[in-house]
Amino acid sequence: MKFTLIGCGNLGSALIKGIVSSDLVSPEDITVTDKKRENLEEIEQLGVRTTTDNKEAVKQNEMIFLAIKPDKVGEVLEKMELNEEKLVISLAAGVTTDYLQEYTDARTIRVMPNLAGEVGEMTSAYTLGPKTKPEDEESVKAILNELGKTVKVEEDFMNPVTALSGSGPAFVFIMIKALRDAGIEMGLSEENSSTLAAQTVKGAAEMTLQSEKSLEEFIDMVCSPKGTTIEGVEILEDEKALETYKKAVKAAFERAEELSK
């Protein structure tokens, strides 16, 4: 399997690091482009090919990942003039497959990943464009599943996915930061508090993934009557923390909807 990735920002570099670590694709079979040479310097150390020339990069491979800003997608695709022998996989938030097809004759797939691909724990969703072949889907699924967990959705649900799992890591980072800072304020060292906070979130997440219990059941398991946990949970309920998180996700969704228009 060979591919080209256009755009080596935070998301693009996370994707490449995860793929190289997985051994699914040899570094020499990956070509990465970015208009800024300095963005390519770190990724070059992984052994991938790099260039600032998009046109030259897409000549080498059939599969092309787009990890660029949504407002640049049309402009970049027009300049490359890709034919139906190429497969374009767009990672741009809010950019529909209909929009992609306005600017290219290539086959298209839309993917919403997140930054956790760098450590092989990415959550992603994908939807197929009108020209895709069965083998296109299998190739993309192979990559996404190697980087974490992926789901297939109808395109109408891609903006909710963007808000929930695409933006979601930032919301989780904020929660980890709050846990860490509380630990520090209670006297723990920053190192210990950071480890405890992050591992607590990781462990809780793994429990929900590996069990058929509901989230409500897990909460009840920890909240013993007259115990320590219930005291904290009551504060979260009084402060409407759940509603605040839901508002954050919905705000991200509304922005994704705006980008799709």
pLDDT value, residue 16: 95
- Tell me the CA distances in angstroms from 46 to 19, 23, 55, 174, one per residue in order: 11, 12, 22, 30
φ and ψ of 97, to 5 deg: -70, -30
What band does 23 get if pLDDT is binned at 50, 70 and 90?
confident
pLDDT value, residue 261: 79
- Does the structure show a pLDDT above 90 at 81? no
pLDDT value, residue 238: 96
Structure tokens at 165: 């799992």
Residues 6+ apart with CB under 8 A from 121: 148
Percentage of the chain lying above the pLDDT 70 cut: 100
DSSP 8-state code for residue 26:
-
DSSP 3-state assignment of 234?
helix
C-alpha span between 148 and 236 (Å, rounded): 30
Query: Tell me: the pLDDT tens digits for 135-145?
Result: 999 999 999 99
Query: Tell me: the pLDDT tens digits for 106-161?
Result: 999 999 999 999 999 999 999 999 999 999 999 999 999 999 999 999 999 999 99
- Does the structure show a pLDDT above 90 at 13? yes
- Does the structure show a pLDDT above 90 at 1? no
- How much is the average pLDDT of 181-203? 98
Answer whether 93's CB lies under 8 Å from 257's CB. Answer: no
- How much is the average pLDDT of 170-191? 98
- Does the structure show a pLDDT above 90 at 260? no
pTM: 0.90
pLDDT value, residue 132: 96
C-alpha span between 158 and 164 (Å, rounded): 10
- How much is the average pLDDT of 207-229? 95
pLDDT value, residue 63: 96
Beta bridge mates, 5: 32, 65
DSSP 8-state code for residue 106:
S
- Does the structure show a pLDDT above 90 at 12? yes
What band does 19 get if pLDDT is binned at 50, 70 and 90?
very high
C-alpha span between 151 and 124 (Å, rounded): 7
- How much is the average pLDDT of 185-189? 98
- Does the structure show a pLDDT above 90 at 201? yes
Domains of the chain: 3-158 (3.40.50.720), 168-260 (1.10.3730.10)
Residues 6+ apart with CB under 8 A from 144: 111, 113, 122, 124, 126, 150
User: Average model confidence (pLDDT) for the chain?
Assistant: 95
Answer whether 70's CB lies under 8 Å from 48's CB. Answer: no
What band does 96 get if pLDDT is binned at 50, 70 and 90?
very high
E strands within the chain? 3-6, 30-33, 49-51, 63-66, 87-90, 107-112, 122-128, 148-152
Query: Tell me: the pLDDT tens digits for 31-73?
Result: 999 998 988 999 999 999 999 999 889 988 999 999 999 999 9
